Amino acid sequence: MDYLESLNPPQREAVLNTEGPMMIIAGAGSGKTRVLTYRIANLIGNGVDAFNILSLTFTNKAAKEMRNRIESVVGSEAKNLWMGTFHSVFARILRVEAEKLGYPSNFTIYDTDDAKSLIKTILKELHLDDKIYKPSSILARISSAKNRLIGPQTYAKDPILMADDAAALRPHTGKIYLKYAERCFKAGAMDFDDLLYNTNVLFKLHLDVLNKYQNRFHYVMVDEFQDTNISQYLITRKLSALRENICVVGDDAQSIYAFRGADIQNILNFEKDYPDLKVIKLEQNYRSTQNIVQSANSLISKNHAQLRKAVWTSNDSGDLVEVIKASSDNEEGRLVANAIFEQKMQDKLRFGDFAILYRTNSQSRSFEESLRRMNIKYKIVGGLSFYQRKEVKDLVAYLRLTVNHNDEEALKRIINYPRRGIGDSTVANIIVKADENNVALWDVIVAYNRLIGGRASETIQAFSILIKSFEVATKAKDAFEAATFIAKNSGLLKELYDDKTVEGLARYENIQELLNAIKEFVDSPEREDKTLGAFLQEVSLLTDTEKKGESDEETVTLMTIHSSKGLEFKSVFVVGLEEDLFPSQMMLSSRDDLEEERRLFYVAITRAEKKLTLSYATSRYRFGKIKPCEPSRFLDEIDAKYLKVTKKFVQQEDFFPQFSKDEPLQRRNLIPKPALPVVPLHTPSSNFNPSNLNILKAGMKVEHIKFGFGVVKMVDISGNDKKAVISFENIGDKTLLLGFAKLMILEQ
């Protein structure tokens, strides 16, 4: 096995140890993809059937790259692997088993826009204000519940969740969740979270199905394990329960998706679930220079909750990490653009070697303007993707409705596009009648003449015949032939072709590009299933960056740090390093939140191969006003010996001329104030159990799950919310809403 020659000792150990539970702690740039690839190749090389191996990743791109690498080692047998994202693999299982849960096998997968649209419809029906019940907030709440395996009925009966919603002034959230779930079910649709939630339900209610897949998957591997949520972890644990050949790979220092439901405790506590666990640490970084690696190490060492490891590299020392101080956000943009241009010329780099990383999308403006002024091309990852453009979504809606007539969101989108005389009032009547009879909208359309009747009957009947004709044609065609037939006969292609404006031409070209994508899908020799349904499933499961499909080597990449995970660039600029911006003001209320922000900065630093530049501004426009800014505490947490203040791009007086350039960074007052205090880490007592707080009164000693021990100073029962002022030992006084505070009364 020649490939073993290229591995270092810990990597080789991880590849060769295949039996029993294993956790591979893989530091940034440590070659984890190579290890996973060779581990699977080694299994197949030793006689394990590829059909019996399940490998789960977080992006389709990662899965494709890994499959290609494995194929280069073991040949075409790699095509038989069960490999893909959590959502794609479990969507595949649900296609086969969906009818056991009452769904059709051709169920639609709703994307975020579809889900929000359905929520907007439900809000109208319930006469709720969408400014209070913002669809994005409601969807996030529903998503969080599903990721914790809380179904709509359970949610509606949970007093803590109800209290949370009441405190957020959204007491009807449970009712919306219930109606949302009912409507998705009726429409034969699942959203992304349902793909995991329903897989858990399937395995819980149908043990024969669980046993079937336990016997199929002899080896289970999970990449980026630190990003898994409770739902994902439980599925993989159930699937591997028979043989316990489970191998998880991850880095707790790169756990940055708590806002999406990722639970860092999955990796921190994995050993508790598997006492005989073998742990292997990959600590050699092959990506970055020594100065970059050590600056990242000095930062992340400040986190309390972590699996300790000593990341190192044999690469060159490289340049010190540069720190740019700007007087304003606009100057920051100018200095960074200048730095990129100079580095490109001096180091003979391409613009594609550069990335500008920021905490939030709204920070991109000053950098875009500065890059444009210097005629430097750039791309923003996370902008409007190809598959989110209106005309593309319109044709995809026709395709979806053809495959699944009950797809409510697709139906509402195209029932009167192109215009066919079906007005809003007619659609409203259909929705009301469907609700009254507890049926799908399509059922009302098919029986429109009998259920509603009137002038619209003929038009509605023509529409239903059109969609049925598409269904018949699709059965005899592959995805490309079917999509082309639908695009022409729906009138959509003609509608766009007739629009001779510049915008109209662009929209028409986008439709042609979509058809090109479908043709490419059909022509791929790797695909056995070339049907329209298979194409729609693949598209619905793509991530935003994969949908964009942009890879111009001469463009600087701008993106949020969250979007940059898994990528690497020769030169990285991490910008906006100011208190309340990074770390975010929203993440300063607890040590857990602050440590996630620090991990986010760690991820940003470790994207850099050769050159790392950090920047901050002393003033910034916030909400239309100029606000003074303090440098981020994170700058102070990096050992000063790895940093230098650059003087290349600004006037001398901007950088503290009273100090010599060899003066340590902290003594040059780059960071004039000490880091802000944070909430000390508190580990709840082993017997911690939240008390009934109806009896709470002044003088009682209590324990809070995060804030620790304290004494109740005052209880306020006036108004709608019961509050208490509690003096905690380590953080002082805090006012808590008792409706959802987790407190245990120690002494009355």
The string of pLDDT tens digits covering residues 166-189 is 998 999 999 999 999 999 999 999
Please report the pLDDT score of residue 687 as a whole number.
Answer: 79
The residue with tokens 């880490």 is: 681
Please report the pLDDT score of residue 572 as a whole number.
Answer: 97
Flag whether pLDDT at 490 surpasses 90: yes
Does 607 participate in catalysis according to the annotation? Answer: yes
Q: What is the pLDDT of residues 285-296, one digit of tens each?
A: 999 999 999 999
Residue 394, C-beta contacts closer than 8 angstroms, at least 6 positions apart = 413, 414, 417, 492
Cβ–Cβ < 8 Å for 734, 728 = yes
Cβ–Cβ < 8 Å for 360, 560 = yes
Residue 706, CA distances (Å) to 161, 300, 731 in order: 18, 21, 11
Please report the pLDDT score of residue 60 as a whole number.
Answer: 79
From 97, 191, 223, 394, the catalytic residue: 223
Return the minimum-mean-pLDDT range out of 372-381, 548-557, 581-590: 548-557
Pairwise CA distance, residues 643 & 356, whole Å: 19
Cβ–Cβ < 8 Å for 634, 299 = yes
Does 450 participate in catalysis according to the annotation? Answer: no
Please report the pLDDT score of residue 388 as a whole number.
Answer: 73
Q: In whole numbers, what is the pLDDT of the chain averaged over residues?
A: 86
Please report the pLDDT score of residue 721 as a whole number.
Answer: 58
Flag whether pLDDT at 156 surpasses 50: yes
Does 610 participate in catalysis according to the annotation? Answer: no
From 334, 548, 598, 607, the catalytic residue: 607
Query: What six digits make up the tokens of 744?
Result: 């245990």
Pairwise CA distance, residues 99 & 744, whole Å: 45
From 224, 495, 597, 703, the catalytic residue: 224
The residue with tokens 């209320």 is: 589
Closest residue by Cα to residue 607 from 183, 382, 287: 287
Measured in degrees and rounded to the nearest 5, phi and psi for residue 490 equal -75, -20
From 18, 33, 112, 484, the catalytic residue: 33
Pairwise CA distance, residues 345 & 583, whole Å: 33
Query: Residues 255-261: contacts with CB within 8 Å, 24+ apart?
Result: 255/226, 255/227, 255/596, 255/599, 256/561, 256/562, 256/565, 256/596, 256/599, 256/600, 256/603, 257/227, 257/562, 258/592, 258/596, 260/147, 260/229, 261/143, 261/144, 261/147, 261/148, 261/229, 261/230, 261/231
Closest residue by Cα to residue 183 from 93, 130, 110: 110
Please report the pLDDT score of residue 208 as a whole number.
Answer: 95
Tell me the residue type at 350: R
The residue with tokens 């993106």 is: 559
Q: What is the DSSP letter of 668?
A: G
SS3 of 131, please?
coil
Pairwise CA distance, residues 544 & 387, whole Å: 9
Q: What is the pLDDT of residues 413-463, one digit of tens each?
A: 999 999 888 988 899 899 989 888 889 999 999 998 888 888 888 899 999
Across 218-361, the runs of DSSP E, i.e. the strands, are: 219-222, 246-250, 278-282, 321-326, 354-358
Please report the pLDDT score of residue 496 as a whole number.
Answer: 87
Question: Checking DSSP bridges between strand 354-358 and strand 569-574, what pairing results, if any?
Answer: parallel
Q: What is the DSSP letter of 1?
A: -
Pairwise CA distance, residues 292 & 374, whole Å: 28
SS3 of 614, please?
strand
Residue 725 half-sphere exposure toward CB, CA atoms < 13 A: 5
Tell me the residue type at 305: A
Cβ–Cβ < 8 Å for 695, 707 = no
Return the minimum-mean-pLDDT range out of 84-88, 416-420, 579-583, 735-739: 735-739
Pairwise CA distance, residues 578 & 695, whole Å: 43
Residue 286, C-beta contacts closer than 8 angstroms, at least 6 positions apart = 29, 30, 31, 313, 315
Percentage of the chain beyond pLDDT 90 is 51
Please report the pLDDT score of residue 661 as a whole number.
Answer: 36
Pairwise CA distance, residues 239 & 217, whole Å: 7
Does 224 participate in catalysis according to the annotation? Answer: yes
Query: What six digits make up the tokens of 552?
Result: 């111009």
Please report the pLDDT score of residue 202 as a whole number.
Answer: 96
Flag whether pLDDT at 222 surpasses 60: yes
Residue 607, C-beta contacts closer than 8 angstroms, at least 6 positions apart = 355, 357, 564, 567, 568, 569, 572
Average of pLDDT values for 580-599? Answer: 89
Q: How confident is the model at residue 1 (pLDDT cuts 50, 70, 90)?
A: low
SS3 of 19, please?
coil
Flag whether pLDDT at 671 surpasses 60: no
Q: How confident is the model at residue 195 (pLDDT cuts 50, 70, 90)?
A: very high
Q: How confident is the model at residue 350 (pLDDT cuts 50, 70, 90)?
A: very high
Flag whether pLDDT at 654 surpasses 80: no
Q: What is the pLDDT of residues 12-56, one digit of tens each?
A: 999 999 999 999 999 999 988 889 999 999 999 899 999 999 999
Please report the pLDDT score of residue 380 as a whole number.
Answer: 83
Q: How confident is the model at residue 729 (pLDDT cuts 50, 70, 90)?
A: confident
> How far is the first Cα of the chain from the last one, in angstroms, to the nearest whole number?
69
Pairwise CA distance, residues 375 & 70, whole Å: 42
SS3 of 697, please?
coil
Exposed, middle or buried, 362 (CB in 10 Å: 0-12/13-18/19+)? exposed
Q: How confident is the model at residue 676 (pLDDT cuts 50, 70, 90)?
A: very low
Does 254 participate in catalysis according to the annotation? Answer: yes
H/E element holding 209? helix 207-216
Exposed, middle or buried, 93 (CB in 10 Å: 0-12/13-18/19+)? buried
Does 372 participate in catalysis according to the annotation? Answer: no
Q: What is the pLDDT of residues 352-393, one digit of tens each?
A: 999 999 998 778 878 988 898 898 988 888 654 567 778 989
Average of pLDDT values for 320-340? Answer: 93
Return the minimum-mean-pLDDT range out of 129-138, 323-332, 704-713, 728-737: 728-737
Cβ–Cβ < 8 Å for 630, 578 = yes
Pairwise CA distance, residues 55 & 225, whole Å: 12
Flag whether pLDDT at 122 surpasses 70: yes
**C-alpha Rg value of the chain to the nearest Å:** 28
What dihedral angle (degrees, nearest 10) is formed by the CA atoms of 94, 96, 100, 106? 80
H/E element holding 492? helix 492-497
Pairwise CA distance, residues 432 & 409, whole Å: 15
Please report the pLDDT score of residue 622 as a whole number.
Answer: 61
Please calculate the CA angle 573-577-580 and round it to the nearest 5 degrees: 150
Q: How confident is the model at residue 545 (pLDDT cuts 50, 70, 90)?
A: very low
Cβ–Cβ < 8 Å for 609, 343 = no
Average of pLDDT values for 726-745? Answer: 78
Residue 501 half-sphere exposure toward CB, CA atoms < 13 A: 6
Pairwise CA distance, residues 278 & 291, whole Å: 31
Pairwise CA distance, residues 81 & 231, whole Å: 23
What dihedral angle (degrees, nearest 10) is formed by the CA atoms of 350, 353, 354, 360? 140
From 32, 281, 507, 633, the catalytic residue: 32
pTM for this entry: 0.70
Question: Checking DSSP bridges between strand 53-57 and strand 82-85, what pairing results, if any?
Answer: parallel
Q: How confident is the model at residue 670 (pLDDT cuts 50, 70, 90)?
A: very low
Average of pLDDT values for 479-495? Answer: 92
From 254, 474, 555, 557, the catalytic residue: 254
Flag whether pLDDT at 547 surpasses 80: no
Flag whether pLDDT at 548 surpasses 90: no
Closest residue by Cα to residue 26 from 251, 286, 300: 251
Pairwise CA distance, residues 10 & 318, whole Å: 26
